[in-house]
Amino acid sequence: MKLFALLLLCGVASATNYYVAKDGSNDNPGTEELPWLTIQKGVDNATSPGDTCWVKAGTYNEVVGWGPGDPSGTAEAPIVFKSYTDTTAIITNAGLHTHTLVIYSADYITLDGFRIVSAVAGLKAVVVSGQHTTFKNCDITGTSGVATSSTVYISALGVGFTMTGCQVHLAGGGAYSFTSHGIYNNADSTVLTYNIFYDNGGYGIQYQDESAFLPKNYGICAYNIVRDNLCGGIYVQFHNQWIHHNLIYKNLKGVKFGGTPASGVTIFENNTLFGDSVYEMNKDNADTVVVRNNIFAYSRTGNLAYMGSLAGIVEMNYNCYYPDDESAFVWSGHGGTFAEFLASTSLDTNSVCQNPYLTDTAADNFRLTDSSPCIGAGDPTTTNELDLDTTYFADTADIGAYWYAGLANIGAISFASTPEGAAIAVDGVGTDSVTPCVIDSLATGSHTVLLTLAGYFDGDTTVTIATLNDTAVVDMTLIAGVDSGSIVVTSTPSGAIILNDGYYAGTTPDTLSGQPIGDHIVGWMLSGYESYTDTVTVTKNGVVATTKALTRRHTGVGGISVGGVTGAKLKVGAKDHGRVRVLRVRQ
């Protein structure tokens, strides 16, 4: 046991942090103080499971690669390359004649936070053949106007590839190209989640089998946004994929199923497809698919579902199509309306052909409104998975990539206060309820709460409804008192007496704190100056300032002119003013 513990500690201790920076040198030891210059130097030296190589900001014009025989990480301790905290390191192959980043055979390599650029025609930004590679939070791109190949290429050997939180764009330089896809995936067990695939010349996501590896093992494509791709959104040629809660819009084509018969089924559910040019869904050949709970809307040519063959469709139901016309559906050489399609097939018996009433498609907001027929209209056997907004549905699944916000994630807050009878506001909106009570139909997540009661200071807090049907608790003891603010009073000159609502309150300058909320009359008095008043409004915890430039009071100055005898004595009353020529006297 002691030997095992010692070996375990040694394994943990072997993991090392290395550093790369533009002002480094490959003759350095790779520490933070003395970093290496190139990322490839990090690849050659960060070779133990758990090693992390931090790459500081800058553009690294180099080819980065893991070749045959290079060390691998493990599932528990991958080898990680990561952009330095709060910065982005850029890797580009500009002027070079090979792909930008290649993982040929090493396994369990993670790249996090990089911008990876292909700037050379015909070449890719990323090529992966190693197993269990992960890309996180990366921007992977071609170059506008440069006919690059697919931005990311996963060979059949790249089993277990994962990409999450990435942007993948400009394959083919943004020009139409059937061979320049955002990601070209040829591997088993891939996971693509929370990515954006856009402005690619081919498909945003291409599942293309070029090997004898059929059928593919279980893979996931979920929570992605796939838009503005010139060939299409998603192309699926192999099976056993779960494609759900993706937003697919404004591509040439929405989704295309182009595989051949195989064991296993691809499930395509709870996706929203909108405004694609040729069709929203296309199924060729005899691929085996389940198509349910999807929105297919506003194809720009009118084809919502184009099916060369109905063979292999295990289920096609609980979908929403719109609008309807004689070319909305094409199946097995026939074409027609939704009603004609239903009459000719046994599919879509629980589907609807109605306006889905999405929130604001011009602003790319495809969430359901209160009027949507998609609310609660999904397959009742649907698993309650997170949607594209990472929320759950309330009772029955909705149709589309977003659960209806008005029904999803419902919880409640139980309110109590001492004393009782306090008015309640939630998220800045007043309610008709007072404590004690329970307010339901609130979304999960954080809420701000305000309790108000006359004669007591307001009570506020933040409370969280953690999960579906959770009831959070707010119980406050309110403190007696009146909410107040402050008045800052100044004058020119200073030293004026301050009157607050007719009562002496000090001299200027001064801050009158603890003033009740509402209007107050402030006055200024100073000997020899005019008196003034001003009305100010005090708000809760607010500070209001008021000032006056005081004007001297008029005193009636007169004069006595003495002439005739220079140096004559002058008396005013009993006071002797000496010998003067001219004297001005206050009267």
Looking at 20-29, 41-50, 167-176, 464-473, which range is the least confident one? 464-473
Please determine, for residue 580, whether its predicted confidence score (pLDDT) is greater than 50. Answer: no
The closest of 451, 457, 513 to 476, measured between CA atoms, is: 451
Tell me the per-residue pLDDT of 61-74, one tens digit each, with 9 for 90 and over. 999 999 998 999 99
Residue 289 placed within a domain = no
Looking at 211-220, 263-272, 304-313, 418-427, which range is the least confident one? 211-220
Q: Which pLDDT belongs to residue 260?
A: 60
User: Do both 434 and 464 map to the same domain?
Assistant: yes
Q: CATH number, domain at 530? A: 2.60.40.10
* Strongest mean pLDDT among 194-208, 437-451, 546-560: 194-208
User: Do both 504 and 528 map to the same domain?
Assistant: yes
User: Do both 561 and 580 map to the same domain?
Assistant: yes
Q: Which pLDDT belongs to residue 8?
A: 40
Percent of the chain's residues with pLDDT above 90 = 67
Please determine, for residue 50, whether its predicted confidence score (pLDDT) is greater than 70. Answer: yes
Domain boundary among 477, 508, 525: 477
Residue 79 pLDDT level (bands cut at 50, 70, 90): very high
User: Do both 424 and 439 map to the same domain?
Assistant: yes
User: Do both 518 and 576 map to the same domain?
Assistant: no
Mean pLDDT within 38-67: 97
Residue 108 placed within a domain = no
Looking at 55-69, 76-90, 262-276, 486-500, which range is the least confident one? 262-276
Residue 172 placed within a domain = no
Query: Which is more confident, 479 or 577?
Result: 479
Mean pLDDT within 120-137: 97
The CB density around residue 3, as the number of other CB atoms within 10 Å, is 7
Residue 422 placed within a domain = yes
Percent of the chain's residues with pLDDT above 70 = 88
Q: Which pLDDT belongs to residue 374?
A: 96
Residue 84 placed within a domain = no
Task: Report whether 389 contacts 418 (CB < 8 A).
Answer: no
Query: Which is more confident, 279 or 198?
Result: 198
Residue 509 placed within a domain = yes
Mean confidence (pLDDT) of the chain: 88
Half-sphere exposure of 439 (CA within 13 A, CB side): 25
What would the two tokens of residue 399 be? 């149709």
Which is it for the CA torsion 474, 479, 482, 484, positive or negative? Answer: negative
DSSP state letters, 108-154:
SEEEES-EEE--STT--SEEE-SSS-EEES-EEE--TTS----SEEE
Tell me the per-residue pLDDT of 276-322, one tens digit each, with 9 for 90 and over. 988 999 987 756 899 999 999 999 887 899 998 888 888 999 999 99
Residue 94 placed within a domain = no
Query: Which is more confident, 432 or 42?
Result: 42
User: Do both 495 and 515 map to the same domain?
Assistant: yes
Mean pLDDT within 396-423: 86
Q: Which pLDDT belongs to residue 575?
A: 55
The closest of 258, 254, 245 to 280, measured between CA atoms, is: 254
User: Do both 490 and 538 map to the same domain?
Assistant: yes
Residue 555 pLDDT level (bands cut at 50, 70, 90): low
Q: What is the residue range of 499's domain?
A: 484-549
Mean pLDDT within 527-533: 91
Please determine, for residue 127, whether its predicted confidence score (pLDDT) is greater than 50. Answer: yes
User: Do both 463 and 512 map to the same domain?
Assistant: no
Q: Which pLDDT belongs to residue 405?
A: 77
Query: Which is more confident, 408 or 247?
Result: 247
User: Do both 532 and 513 map to the same domain?
Assistant: yes
User: What is the number of structural domains in the chain?
Assistant: 3
Please determine, for residue 344, whether its predicted confidence score (pLDDT) is greater than 50. Answer: yes
Residue identified by tokens 């709870």 is 270
Q: Which pLDDT belongs to residue 287?
A: 67
What would the two tokens of residue 54 be? 């931090």
Residue 255 pLDDT level (bands cut at 50, 70, 90): very high
Residue 377 placed within a domain = no
Half-sphere exposure of 355 (CA within 13 A, CB side): 7
Query: Which is more confident, 90 or 69?
Result: 90
* Strongest mean pLDDT among 316-325, 441-450, 484-493, 496-505: 316-325
Q: Which pLDDT belongs to residue 587?
A: 37
User: Do both 463 and 420 map to the same domain?
Assistant: yes
- How buried is residue 33: exposed, middle or buried, by Cβ count under 10 Å (0-12/13-18/19+)? exposed
Q: CATH number, domain at 464? A: 2.60.40
DSSP state letters, 56-82:
-SEEEES-EEE-TT-----SSS-EEEE
What would the two tokens of residue 256 be? 């295309």
Say what the pTM is: 0.70
- Cis peptide before 215, with omega less than 30 degrees from 0? yes
User: Do both 463 and 501 map to the same domain?
Assistant: no
DSSP 363: G
Q: N- to C-terminal Cα distance for the chain? A: 109
Q: Which pLDDT belongs to residue 191?
A: 96
